[in-house]
Structure 1
Amino acid sequence: MNVIMFHNPRCSKSRETLALLNDRGAQVEIVEYLNTPPDTNTLRALVDKLGVTARDIVRTGESAYRELGLADPGISDDAVLEAIASHPILLQRPIVVRDGKAALGRPPENVLALLD
């Protein structure tokens, strides 16, 4: 089975998710999103596949979150996605995509539903 994983090798949850996928025999296409940031269209597609809002894929603990004023509830989803595209450190990780569906690997076991 082929999956795409938005991965940060410095993140323990991301590494755990990758190991879990490898243990299950998945063929993983890794996107190191800090080196190759997804554009807003890709981010919008991820939000749709996850079935969440743009705010649900933002790392609120990052300094860029505060600096960009993303806590303001009046900011549109489009503006949030543009901020993530410009500051990829804001992207929650890991995100795994398979066959038009996606899962956030927090905890890593969340991605197992994609493998069934």
Structure 2
Amino acid sequence: MSNTESIKIYHNPACGTSRNTLGLIRNTGVEPTVIEYLQTPPSKAELIQMIQDADLSVRAAIRCNVDPYRDLNLEQEDWSDEQLIDFMLQYPILINRPFVVTSVGTRLCRPSEIVLDILPVAQQGVFTKEDGEQVVDENGQRIQ
């Protein structure tokens, strides 16, 4: 993937963090491939690859504050990674979001500004998150 090629975001438009991450990507002038993963979940191989590439454990890639997590008692430590992956594919709401894949790397972008670490192109100006927090200044530089 070259610098001008695809940036892929596994997106949930109902999630503020996901919307902010998408906004930060678009603030580079690049239009990413947007995959609304609740309607189009990744394949098992894609999900496993994203988790590995992001250097996460399977448990770290699971959303804990959703009904399937509680209903399936996923907090119990005796579930294998294979079983957890299968649950994530059966119930995509269990996949934490947003995952972003670029030529620089793959990250679970929580908080959204983590995406700045893997974008292959620079920010083009100010970016303010939905909550009013400015994370990129007028020079396109990350505010620490």
Provide the TM-score with structure 1 as the length reference: 0.94
User: How far apart, in 1, do the equivalents of 2:44 and 2:75 lie?
Assistant: 19
Number of residue pairs matched by the alignment: 116
- Whether 1:71 aligns to 2:75 is yes
Which moves more between the two structures, 97-106 or 32-41?
97-106
- Whether 1:6 aligns to 2:10 is yes
Deviation digits for residues 64-88 of structure 1, max 9, x if unmatched? 0011121111111111110000000
Which of 94, 100, 110 is the matching residue for 2:114? 110
User: In structure 2, do the counterparts of structure 1 residues 100 and 87 end up closer, same or farther at CA, with 3 Å as the change threshold?
Assistant: farther
User: How far apart, in 1, do the equivalents of 2:92 and 2:22 lie?
Assistant: 19
Deviation digits for residues 53-109 of structure 1, max 9, x if unmatched? 111111101110011121111111111110000000111111100127211111111
Larger Rg: 2
Counterpart amino acid of residue 70 in structure 2: R
- Whether 1:30 aligns to 2:34 is yes
What RMSD over aligned residues (CA atoms) do the two structures have, in Å?
Answer: 1.2
Name the structure with the higher strand share.
1
Provide the TM-score with structure 2 as the length reference: 0.76
Unaligned runs of 5+ in 2: 121-144
What residue in structure 2 maps to residue 85 of structure 1?
89
Misfit runs of 4+, over 6 Å: none
Question: Which structure is higher in RCO with an 8 Å CA cutoff and minimum separation 6?
Answer: 1
Q: Percent identity?
A: 34
Name the structure with the higher helix share.
1
Shift of 1:38: 1.5
